[in-house]
Chains A and B, each alone.
Chain A
């Protein structure tokens, strides 16, 4: 983009950031993610006027489709899943740049066809050679696709154009595999052209953590070990593993969720103020705090993993993990994981961070709860404050995005009785109506080349360094605890907190 454009003015804040001339190639375009998230996100972006004129969308998959079939598929996906209303004129704009390339990942002809499609689009749509390759493919196909892109010169940036790779989790299953994967990708794409999608970071609430902490004065002074007792970061799902047995078994909750989403949330909650809001400064702070994470001494006492057993989840009878289709009856894979971490720096020394995640829990919720210490002295007698819990600031990431502050208040009419009340800021009341989906934001950022919200190689590797010893310990010692589906996890997890006089929040 030329910075000399006289119509661009930083003070003109109505003008949105529109991506420059570009196109998006989706591998694995017939998959669920592509249908439910990516295609609708592309449409929503177009509808909001954020895509450049001539934006092109290329699908690559094995299915025998003509361009029209592909367009029809996108049409259906958009109608069903898009956030914004369907508008014919937006669709007409998009459809002109839609192409489909049929082939398998090892098919050289198909990649040649992809290359000629891209060249044709440059001519017909003016995409200027700028393409992002979205790899919505199983992990084992990663190296093949990346190598094919290299072999057919699809990753070559010529004459000022760019080629970017977008990859989804999992970024490996341990440090070693992550390093290998990074090597494969970086051999073909420069590190700053690789975008790792952690869709949590695209959520407005997660970006709001930074706004809450660093744009305000009232939170930062209490955001440290002198006042914070502990932090709980929870991501709970009410669903089971569904049809993902093949992927999930052997991976488990900790690798699937803690390694990426929860450690990223931890980094944003605990990091120091970045010197600016650009990608490098943010990554530097996140890396620093992830590097300072300390594992508990006794992994047996301060970590818990578990599997759900048959039970009732929200009024439906559901099977236990070991009875799910395609799961080995002796599987040791965790569907629930809770770990305690500490951060070795001046701000957080001695403050435990409890991370938990699980499937088939009470309800679907993700939140960060910063729980404060009790008042060191209370002028009220103990009966007055019997019902008073700890003060807390809860950042609700999903659903019902918002922030809750919990504190004590006098119950009206009593002589003096103090009870917890909460004060709510809900995005849900207001901004949700038009707050963009995470994928919209992230796809736009990829096209703009803005890597603020994407974890970098170092962050991924540091996260594995945190998780690997825990996984190793679990592998060698004992077996998963059990919890009935539809509850908030195993009693072992409750005991883990009780030992320190704390308890899990019911989110």
Chain B
């Protein structure tokens, strides 16, 4: 059942939800959370589709907040809220409200969302695109126990990672982190099979894919060894090489689906490492709503320390020296780099990076 409300308010939306439920005869449903999707018109369809697929596992009330662009000064002064309420078969499991915000109210989305949250149930905010750099202090983010960003969709993923490590608040998480769970799980399984000490690691993947950085930071954080990030043409992550005292361990995925695990002294084995759909990522993300300390710890390791590791010679092979140096040089102006290398200054060291964003883009393109 679908109800369209034009120029409406949150309390009218609430009324429409109750009426909708009565009309289809299911007054109580076992919804376990409220999912708020903050997006623009362009990305709303895909995000909502992924969310309703994920809702099969986690029945939820989904609020899609679409901030409409005002194109004239007069538009900007007028403020309007349109809502589309879907209950029952139209909403899959749970309920969906698509909220379109015009004009001034777009800056006060939290006032619309707050009355529509399910009582008691946890709130998750997801920004498929244009996530704030400090999610916990965003007015909508502040309503949520869990804030899901996606640096993969960001213009400057590496910069965003650096900033988010400074603003990290328990409950923050990123889909780029979710994407690497199968890799992490397989690497942990590989180390289960041998009693070796890892001496150095190399993570290889496409450029502008923050999952590679996150995986590298996680490995560096857990193993306490130098980790090198190198580039390939993808898709996504392509390989992780660990140099251990009993020979190399390599997990190689050239085609984005089937990987090969090679361990010195053991036969090569094929392992399925399929790149996953957004719906699956969201389903994993919603499975646990407690703070992800492992993510925090990996993020705080500091994306800059990866680059300083690239000069460590213990891992042979790719990539060419100028490329990696170029990356190290471009990301940070000299003083900031020195500050970032001091481990104690991880969190605060990011500040200069944030102030320098315009410098990054042109240089990076040149190194491609």
Q: Which A residues form the contact surface with B (CB < 8 A)?
A: 1-2, 4-9, 11-16, 18, 20-21, 46-47, 49, 52-54, 87-90, 92-93, 96, 123-126, 128, 423-426, 429-431, 433-434
Contacts and interface: CB of A to CB of B under 8 A. Distances in A.
The 3 A-B residue pairs with the shortest CB-CB distance, nearest first, are A433-B56, A7-B188, A12-B294
B222 A126 contact: no
Given A15-B188, A53-B269, A20 B193 contact: yes
12 contacts: A1-B192, A5-B191, A7-B187, A9-B222, A14-B181, A20-B192, A46-B272, A53-B270, A93-B258, A429-B30, A433-B57, A434-B283
B189 A18 contact: yes
Interface string B34-73: 0000000000000000000000111100000000000000
A309 to B, nearest CB: 38
Contacts of B184: 7, 12, 14-15
Nearest to A13: B288
B155 interface: no
Interface in B251-268: 257-258, 261, 263, 266-267
The dominant DSSP class at the B interface is mixed
Contacts of A434: 56-57, 283
A3 to B, nearest CB: 10
A415 B224 CA distance: 73
Interface string B183-207: 0111111111101001000000000
A92 B258 contact: yes
B193 A96 contact: no
A118 B271 CA distance: 20
B269 A54 contact: yes
A431 to B, nearest CB: 6
Contact of B191 (A6, A14, A426): A6
A431 B31 CA distance: 11
Given A7-B188, A434-B56, A92 B93 contact: no
Select the residue from B58, B185, B222 with max chain A CB neighbours within 10 A: B185
Interface of B: 28-30, 32, 56-59, 93, 178, 181-182, 184-193, 195, 198, 219, 222-224, 257-258, 261, 263, 266-267, 269-274, 283-284, 288, 290, 292-294
Given A5-B191, A49-B185, A431 B57 contact: yes
A94 to B, nearest CB: 9
Given A14-B288, A18-B185, A430-B56, A5 B257 contact: no
Contact of B30 (A1, A92, A424): A424
B181 A15 contact: yes
Contacts of A88: 257
Given A424-B30, A425-B30, A430-B56, 14 more contacts: A7-B184, A7-B188, A7-B191, A8-B188, A15-B188, A52-B193, A89-B273, A123-B267, A125-B267, A423-B28, A426-B30, A429-B30, A430-B58, A431-B57
Contact of A18 (B188, B283, B293): B188
B257 A89 contact: yes
A93 B288 contact: no
B47 to A, nearest CB: 19
Given A6-B222, A53-B186, A96 B59 contact: no
A2 B272 contact: no
Select the residue from A49, A96, A430 with max chain B CB neighbours within 10 A: A430
Nearest to B225: A6
Given A5-B191, A49-B185, A53-B189, A125 B269 contact: yes
Contacts of B274: 87, 89-90
A14 B267 contact: no
A126 B294 contact: no
Nearest to A423: B28
A5 B219 CA distance: 12
Contact of A93 (B223, B267, B272, B292): B272
B80 to A, nearest CB: 35
A209 B294 CA distance: 31
Contacts of B257: 87-89
Contacts of A9: 222, 294
A172 B288 CA distance: 42
Contacts of A429: 29-30, 59, 93
A15 B193 contact: no
B29 A14 contact: no
A423 B57 CA distance: 21
Contacts of A1: 192
Contact of A11 (B178, B185, B293): B293
Given A14-B181, A429-B29, A6 B258 contact: no
Contacts of A53: 186, 189-190, 261, 269-271
B81 to A, nearest CB: 30
A16 B185 contact: yes
A9 B182 CA distance: 15
A465 B57 CA distance: 42
Contacts of A12: 184, 293-294
B257 to A, nearest CB: 4
Select the residue from A6, A11, A92 with max chain B CB neighbours within 10 A: A6
Contacts of B290: 13
Contacts of B283: 434
Contacts of A128: 193
B269 A5 contact: no
Contacts of B182: 49
Given A7-B222, A430-B56, A47 B188 contact: no
A407 to B, nearest CB: 14
A5 B57 CA distance: 32
Contacts of B198: 6
B7 to A, nearest CB: 33
Contacts of B258: 89, 92-93
A406 B343 CA distance: 59
Contacts of A5: 188, 191-192
B48 to A, nearest CB: 18
Contacts of B93: 429-430
Contacts of A431: 57
Nearest to A52: B189
A130 to B, nearest CB: 11
A6 B195 CA distance: 11
Given A16-B185, A429-B93, A434-B56, A92 B28 contact: no
Contact of A126 (B29, B178, B267, B288): B267
Contacts of B222: 6-7, 9
B30 A2 contact: no
Contacts of B195: 2, 4
Contacts of B30: 424-426, 429-430
B284 A2 contact: no
Contact of A96 (B178, B185, B269): B269
A14 B294 contact: yes
Nearest to B294: A12
Select the residue from B195, B288, B294 with max chain A CB neighbours within 10 A: B294
Contacts of B288: 13-14
